[in-house]
A and B are shown apart, each in its own frame.
Chain A
Amino acid sequence: MANNQKVWTRRHVLASGTAVSAAAIAGCIGGNGDDDDDEEGGEILDPEEYDYERDEPDDPDAVSDGTMVYTQELERDEDFDPVVANDAYSVQVSNLIYDDLFEFNYDYELEPKVAVDFPDVERDDTRYLYEIHEGIEFHNGDELTASDVAHSFTAPVEEETPNISTYDMIESAEAIDDYQLQVDLEHPYGPWEMFNQAVAIVPEDVRTEDTEAFNTDPVGSGPFQWADFQHGEYVELERFEDYWDDPMPHLQAIRFEDNVDDASRVSEMMAGDTDAIGDVPNDDWDELEGEDDVNLHVAESPSVAYIYFNCNEGAGTADPNVRRGIAHAFSMQDYVETYLNNAAIPLVTPTSRITNDLWDFPVDEWEEELYPQYDPEQAEELLDEHAPDDWNPTFLAPDDERATLAERVATRVGELGHDMEVQTMDFGAMLEQTIYSDGNPDDYELYIVGWTGGPDPDQYLYPNFHESQEGTNQGHFYEGSDDFHDNIVEARESADDEERQELYNDVIEEILEELPALPAYTEHNSMATGEHVRDMHVHPQMQYNPHLVSDEGNVWIDD
């Protein structure tokens, strides 16, 4: 538990006075450092430098009663049933309660967990046969069987929960016996093996008895079990002593709280009122790094941000030359260095850097040949030649750090003689005016939104670029070449990775050439922990954090 009080000295009095004054002048903890377009940037942080070695205790028995408080950066929806949960912060809790059929390792690749091995695939890549481990017990003592796995796959579809799209390609999921399961898909589904088969397993009997009660009093088979809960306040989990898998967690219990205010959360960390916080704000990184008793952790994530261009008729940005002109007008590298150097890395593809690595995409080639680098002369040339007369585009951005990117783009385009108006607004209002609109160019020609995908390119390309997603996930209205949308669907409905890779190469190249959206940056998952929290490693899958126990890490408290 957190209990690190500082000793009072005269030096502290003076230091506190200085700190208060400095904070007053600088705008206190949590400032976003905006409003200064010419602000000096910092070096972009390399997450690999924070890829710590294992830090195992000398005597595991001596650290088996450690407890920790983890402060999440957003409030949970308090949905702990994975069938219905669709907020990452509830899932951060429930991931410790449930075992998945497959789980992601730190390289973002699936490994069998409850499954004994990878499935046998039959019927033209539409039938998956799974074998699961025998003797796995839920926290109530019931055995985990194949019918529980089948229920976990089908319940989101049958109950029409927000997770329906993850499993709606399933034709049927049936237990062959207690330890074997057959899942039939309606058609081959490319991302299945890389993503969708990582289902969290719920006990069918307990859950179906009272689904509402189960949502806030869950039972799983994971390394931690439900201990205490106050809605909106905290969740406490304790180690499940009969856990079936190795390693057994060192940590005896964890308490999840939340603190949505960046400054307040950082203050909590600095005051020692919590053991760990999620999401270290960009501007507080250096300050926390300077603290002797705080460790920082970071990992790349599948979260990306794009600048979308309205391609509807009547928009200046309907012309790909104008889109390219805008993209050449400013430096994304410079923007990230200035405002997000500790939290993001510039992105040159519509897929995340992790996905690119997993798929071995020719990123360097694309960056060199296709991605529009900062080139004001070319920008001026393109905009002068192709932008409509008296062109005054509107750029919509949510009222957060993304607005600073919009401002920067507008400033640079303005310097080239084209007035661009930036409108910042509440996120919901912005979505209503862009994604959920008919794309009227008078309302917007550019907007910026983030997206969290996964290891499979389909998780970015289908929702953000396929025409069927207009009005639900995207508002760029890009028509594409003859086979652009067909290629996205074909890749989705193929299980042949080679074929898929070729299709995705074509799709991504077209996106980079035509720019319906400009890839902006990929954001990191970060965490700050007290020095006494040991062997913590941040996982690329945000919902897996804090990742307390795996073959690659087992968190313990050094008293």
Chain B
Amino acid sequence: MGLLRYTLYRLLQAIPVLIGITIITFLLANLAPGDPVRLMLQGQEVDEELIETIEQRYGLDQPLHERYITYMSGLVQGDFGHSIHRNQPVSDLMLSRLGPTLLLVLSAYAFAIATAIPLGIFAATRRNDPADHISRIVALIGVSTPSFWIGIMLILLFAVQLGWLPSSGLVYPWWGPEAYDWIDTWPELLYQTARHLLLPMVALGTLQMATLMRVERTQMIESLQGEYVKLARAYGVPERTILRKHAFQVAQLPIITIIGLNLSTALGGAVLIEYVFNINGMGRLFIEAIQSLDYQLIMGITIVIGTMFVIGVIITDISYAYIDPRVTYGEEE
């Protein structure tokens, strides 16, 4: 099977998965106790008539299956519906929040990969040295510490106590310097983006970094003990070349799998990090949608996150084949 056919095949496989996500989410959201209209109006004197008017306005007076069919028919035309609580198209709300979440998650991944791989290699090549022990302890702490707690500690240290970095918010490069009164130039904008991003990026990326580092170390140790490495050494190939050309490449396959599968963990972690660092991303929007029982918004965000995850897994599978020629696209040779 060619790459294009394989990709197409995997995308087609994703369709029933996504339909399943819509059904489960729709049922869970709509059958959860609570009423979004009453919740919206809670705390003020209201009568049943007003509640019914608003329910009709948003189609909430229809039977569940009709509401699902109406929702899906809109969805296939690209209409994610209208937020009850925020009185805005769901697509507009998600678009405005997608950027910060992607910036946060991708930068956390970049931080994790950029630190975990060198550290993993470093630890593997110094196996059982003090440096290896230290790196393993660091990784263990990273794996076992909740990201939100790391975030709070980073804020306390670097923002509150030292005043080096901002405690909250993000500066969005896509808004340009003109959106900020206190920023004049593009380099300054990028600098401020980096300053604001640093703490949430580290807080979110630490778990990924620790996980990747542990796997990288293990894989590199295994790889360095391989027969082909011994042969290379016997031929007098320099150690640096062995490490780079023979051991490293083979060791990366599990790393790619973990990066792909950890996307959901990262998106889940982003929810908390967005809260702690007051970042207006999809995660925060999702929590608020759940709290206000904003059905359409819950659906929209779940579908987008589900799609991102499915695409992440597909990209992971496809990447395999590029890195390891032994991997085929699902057919026996």
A residues contacting B by CB (< 8 A) are 1, 4-8, 12, 15-16, 19-20, 23-24, 28-29, 75, 77-79, 86, 160, 162, 164-165, 230-233, 257-261, 263-265, 267-268, 270-273, 425-429, 431-433, 435-436, 450-452, 462-463, 468-469, 471-473
Q: Does B162 contact A (CB under 8 A)?
A: yes
B162–A472 CB distance below 8 A:
no
Task: Check if B161 sits within 8 Å of A77, measured CB to CB.
Answer: no
Cα separation A226 to B34 with both chains bound (whole Å): 36
Interface contact A426-B291, CB-CB below 8 Å: yes
The docked-state distance in angstroms from the alpha carbon of A29 to that of B285 is 23
Q: Are A428 and B161 in contact, CB atoms less than 8 angstroms apart?
A: no
Asked if B153 contacts A24 (CB within 8 A), the reply is yes
B34 and A426 form a contact (CB under 8 A): yes
Nearest B residue to A5, CB-CB = B163
> Is B152 within 8 A of A462, CB to CB?
no
CA distance in complex: A161, B301 (Å): 27
Structural contact, B50 and A436, CB atoms closer than 8 A = no
Check A428–B291 contact: CB distance below 8 A: yes
Contact among B86, B166, B280 with A271 in the assembled complex (CB-CB below 8 Å): B166
Q: What residues of A have a CB within 8 angstroms of the CB of B54 in the complex?
A: 162
Contacting pair A267 B280 (CB below 8 A)? no
Which residues from 36 to 58 on chain B have a C-beta closer than 8 Å to any C-beta of chain A? 36, 38-48, 50-51, 53-54
Residues of B within 8 A of A77 (CB): 85-87
Q: Are A16 and B161 in contact (CB under 8 A)?
A: yes
**Chain A residue contacts of B92, Cβ below 8 A:** 231
Give min CB distance, A528 to chain B, whole Å.
Answer: 14
B276 touches A261 (CB 8 A): yes
B residues less than 8 Å from A472 (CB atoms): 38, 46-48, 51
Give A160 to B160 CA distance when docked, in angstroms: 47
What residues of chain B lie closer than 8 Å to A270, measured between beta carbons?
160, 167
Nearest-Cβ distance from residue B165 to partner chain A, whole angstroms: 9
Q: Judge whether B149 and A271 touch: CB under 8 Å.
A: no
CA distance A281 to B184 in the complex (A): 36
CB < 8 Å neighbour of A267 from B43, B96, B160, B162: B160
Indicate with 1 or 0, residue by residue over B70-98, a CB within 8 angstroms of chain A CB atoms: 00000000000000011110001100110
Near A by CB (< 8 A), chain B positions 67-126 give 85-88, 92-93, 96-97
Q: Which residues of A contact B169 (CB under 8 A)?
A: 257, 273
Please tell me if the beta carbons of A264 and B34 are within 8 angstroms of each other in the complex: no
Q: Is the CB of A28 within 8 A of B50?
A: no
Known: A6-B161, A264-B278, A428-B293. A164 touches B182 (CB 8 A): no
Contact of B162 among A8, A160, A230, A258 (CB under 8 A): A8
What 0/1 readout, one digit per residue, does chain B (239-262) give for beta carbons within 8 Å of chain A? 000000000000000000000000
Partner of A20, one of B41, B53, B157, B182: B157
The interface residues of chain B lying within 8 Å CB-to-CB of A29 are 152, 156
B45 lies within 8 A of A86 (CB): no
Bitwise interface map of B from 285 to 315 toward A, beta carbon under 8 Å scored 1, else 0: 1001001110000000000000000000000
- Do the beta carbons of B43 and A452 come within 8 Å of each other? yes
Q: Which residues of B contact A (CB under 8 A)?
A: 32-36, 38-48, 50-51, 53-54, 85-88, 92-93, 96-97, 149, 152-153, 155-157, 159-164, 166-169, 175, 179, 182, 275-278, 280, 284-285, 288, 291-293
Q: Known interface pairs A78-B86, A261-B276. Does A271 touch B152 (Cβ–Cβ under 8 Å)?
A: no
B96 shortest CB reach to chain A, Å = 6
**A230 contacts which chain B residues (CB < 8 A)?**
175, 179
Query: Do A164 and B88 form a contact, CB below 8 Å, given A263-B276, A267-B167?
Result: no
A271 with B159: CB separation less than 8 A: yes
Q: Shortest CB–CB separation between residue A3 and chain B, in angstroms?
A: 9
Q: Is the CB of B167 within 8 A of A165?
A: no
B160 touches A231 (CB 8 A): no
* Bound-state Cα–Cα, A7 to B162, Å: 7
Please give, as numbers and ranges, the residues of chain A lying within 8 Å of B85 by CB-CB distance.
77
Nearest Cβ on chain A to B90's Cβ, whole angstroms: 13
A469's contact among B45, B96, B277, B292, by CB below 8 Å, is which? B45
Task: Name the contact of B44 in the complex, choosing from A75, A162, A427 (C-beta under 8 A).
Answer: A162
CB < 8 Å: which of B40, B46, B278 contacts A261? B278
Partner of B166, one of A20, A24, A273: A273
Q: Which 10 A-B pairs have the closest CB atoms?
A: A428-B34, A16-B161, A5-B163, A429-B33, A6-B163, A271-B159, A271-B167, A259-B278, A432-B33, A463-B45
Docked pose: A1 CA to B47 CA in angstroms: 44
Provide the bound-state CA to CA distance between A5 and B161, in Å.
Answer: 9
User: Are the CB atoms of A12 and B45 closer together than 8 Å?
Assistant: no
Q: Say whether A162 contacts B278, CB under 8 Å.
A: no
Minimum CB–CB distance for B271 against chain A, Å: 12
Is the beta-carbon distance between B38 and A436 smaller than 8 angstroms? Answer: yes
Residues on B with beta carbons closer than 8 Å to the beta carbon of A265:
278
Given contacts A77-B85, A273-B159, 16 further A-B contacts (CB under 8 A): A28-B152, A77-B86, A86-B40, A160-B53, A162-B50, A165-B46, A232-B93, A232-B97, A232-B285, A257-B278, A260-B275, A264-B278, A426-B33, A427-B39, A431-B35, A471-B48
If A264-B277, A267-B156, A431-B34 touch, whether A12 touches B96 (CB-CB below 8 Å) is no
- On whether the beta carbons of B35 and A432 are closer than 8 Å, the reply is yes
The complex places the Cα of A230 from the Cα of B86 at a distance, in Å, of: 14
A232–B45 alpha-carbon span in the complex (Å): 27
Q: Which residue of A lies closest to B151 (CB)?
A: A264
Smallest CB-CB separation from B280: which chain A residue?
A232
* Most interface-central of A1, A8, A271, A472 (chain B CB within 10 A): A271
- Distance between Cα atoms of A268 and B88 in the complex (Å): 29
Contact B168 A428 (CB under 8 A): no
Beyond A16-B162, A259-B168, A273-B166, whether A431 also contacts B156 by CB under 8 A is no
Given contacts A19-B156, A24-B153, contact A268 B278 (CB under 8 A): yes
